[in-house]
Structure 1
């Protein structure tokens, strides 16, 4: 096992320090294949972890990002080992760029930010991701406006209807029931009943 302060190996052609990152989704999966490919690519400092790509907290990824120095090249066997989706990939690429580090995928040669072509591809991806995001926002807004024109009301539905609130007040004021009893009868929490009664009193 390599020590945490292992500086990594410099690529003989580029002179850059190669840092590997490997990930599998579950504990019963094996990291050995990714490790072997990364070692063969020249990485002797490898950060590896067993965590689902959908999990927002990836401790070894965070450690790797903290470990990076300008000129380092983060190497992965495939991009889906590093990022959850296109947006996540672009966010990580931006973090690497801010540290002066590059990104390279063994399975996707076009994803090499140390080359002008690779940087251009990711720039195009960033534009597409932003375009998709703006389309989603526009469609959501248009759908909401159309629904409102049809009379659809948004927001949380009141837990108690006006008729239930009026009934609850009669039970409390006229019959002397406790708020706890009435709330239980209506199937809501006592605090919910208090809020409903207070809101109605303010109307």
Structure 2
């Protein structure tokens, strides 16, 4: 009888712990059943609050995810079913993990991934290293793509004999294209021929 009473008190104390488990679920348009399935699994996991939304993984801003993170405090836990429910790539994942760890917040998935906060300094260092390694990998890849073009320039080639434009104008064309402007809009803003604009953008992707 005493054991049952102590066990009951222990369970009550567990429920009264001063931390929250907040869930986040995401699905793309028309995936109603999949979103509902995630929500049910997060409820079973004991999430006190669940934020959910229909949004593409590629969207830069996920409003409900941001709300979930803003509700978290020291010692709390963010729970998702899988990493790809919240993050579109490794870099985005590592950035968020570092932010959470620095605030002593756990991240856990239902398929086994988790970050502990008992040794937050160690964990934070590990994820910062991973983040920097990912940056290094991306920079190295970009440098390798630029090398053939750089060699041709150093050799004095005119990239097929087409008319040259200044590096400043090239960078302007690429920047405008990255900002979503059409080829014709770029021509109107810069006065550069469409054929030259296409060539600069194509070479920028090499």
Verify same fold: TM over 0.5.
yes
Per-residue CA deviation, residues 84-141 of structure 1 (Å, 9 max, x unaligned), is 01011012112323433221111133x3243659937645632441231231232134
- Other-structure match for 2:4: none
- Other-structure match for 2:197: none
- Other-structure match for 2:50: 46
Corresponding position: 1:108 with 2:112: yes
Corresponding position: 1:20 with 2:6: no
- Other-structure match for 2:32: 29
User: SS state of the match for residue 96, structure 1?
Assistant: helix
Q: Give the deviation of 1:195 after TM superposition.
A: 5.4
- Other-structure match for 1:132: 137
- Other-structure match for 2:75: 71
Q: Give the deviation of 1:78 after TM superposition.
A: 0.4
Q: How does 1:1-203 map to 2 (within 5 A)?
A: 16-30=19-33, 31-109=35-113, 111-114=114-117, 119=123, 122-123=127-128, 125-149=130-154, 151-153=157-159
Larger radius of gyration: 1
Per-residue CA deviation, residues 29-59 of structure 1 (Å, 9 max, x unaligned), is 3311111211121112111111010011211
Q: Provide the C-alpha distance between the structure 2 equivalents of 1:115 and 1:78, rounded to a whole number of angstroms.
A: 23
Q: Provide the C-alpha distance between the structure 2 equivalents of 1:122 and 1:26, rounded to a whole number of angstroms.
A: 32
Q: Give the deviation of 1:81 after TM superposition.
A: 0.4
Say whether the 8 Å CA contact 1:20–1:75 is kept in structure 2. Answer: yes
- Other-structure match for 1:165: none
Scaled by the length of structure 1, the TM-score of the pair is 0.61
Unpaired runs of 5+ residues, structure 1, are 1-9, 160-187, 197-203
Q: Provide the C-alpha distance between the structure 1 equivalents of 2:14 and 2:53, rounded to a whole number of angstroms.
A: 24
User: SS state of the match for residue 107, structure 1?
Assistant: coil
Q: How many residues align?
A: 155
Q: Provide the C-alpha distance between the structure 2 equivalents of 1:195 and 1:79, rounded to a whole number of angstroms.
A: 46
Q: Provide the C-alpha distance between the structure 2 equivalents of 1:114 and 1:13, rounded to a whole number of angstroms.
A: 20
Q: Give the deviation of 1:76 after TM superposition.
A: 0.6
The change in CA–CA distance for 1:143 and 1:71 in structure 2 (over 3 A counts) is: farther
The change in CA–CA distance for 1:54 and 1:195 in structure 2 (over 3 A counts) is: closer
RMSD, aligned α-carbons: 3.7
Scaled by the length of structure 2, the TM-score of the pair is 0.60
Q: Which structure dedicates a bigger proportion of its chain to helix?
A: 2
